[in-house]
Structure 1
């Protein structure tokens, strides 16, 4: 975790959005993300890439979970656990931030 960054407790009602200091593209069904602050590239598999595409606009963890349940063969509990794990990791790496109104 970056110095000075405090971990955030995420739950189904947390609204998140892709961080401003990154650029990303889709490459053969996967997402490639460049963090502009540290110059590190990150990759996401097709399911992660689908979630990432939704994060261009603020979404709640529940909305992301519901998308996975609708589009993939996964139950809600497993989908929520996996979404929370990915969102935690993306936030820790500075690629995701809490969405603010306005």
Structure 2
């Protein structure tokens, strides 16, 4: 399992993240289901995951996603950072997002 995002990888916080073209999704009652059409693997997202996924409708930086979470949810910044890194690494490992330099 690849760990690309971490709270110590400051240089990666400005890279643009976008949804993979092979990922199709639908939202139901505040939660999202994603299908990677290449692998056939389904992923389910809770409310916070859905907020992040929706933030990736257009390419977004790690920092902008972190700011969005901090604005919408009452969470300590370090916890937000740790959880966001873990979530984005999961999406990346499941080929649901693509990371590019700005």
TM-score higher than 0.5: yes
Indicate conservation of the 8 Å contact 1:66/1:76, yes or no.
Answer: no
Matched, 1:57 2:52: no
State TM-score, norm by structure 1: 0.85
Q: Which runs of 4+ in 1 moved over 2 A?
A: 7-14
Segment drifting more, 11-20 vs 39-48: 11-20
Listed one character per residue, the Cα deviations across residues 12-48 of structure 1 (whole Å, up to 9, x for unaligned) are 2232111001110101110100000011111000110
The equivalent residue for 2:92 is 91
The equivalent residue for 2:9 is none
Structure 2: any 5+ residue segments left out of the alignment? 6-11
Indicate conservation of the 8 Å contact 2:70/2:80, yes or no.
Answer: yes
Higher RCO, Cα 8 Å, sep 6+:
2
Structure 1: any 5+ residue segments left out of the alignment? 2-6
State TM-score, norm by structure 2: 0.85
Q: Alignment length, in residue pairs?
A: 96
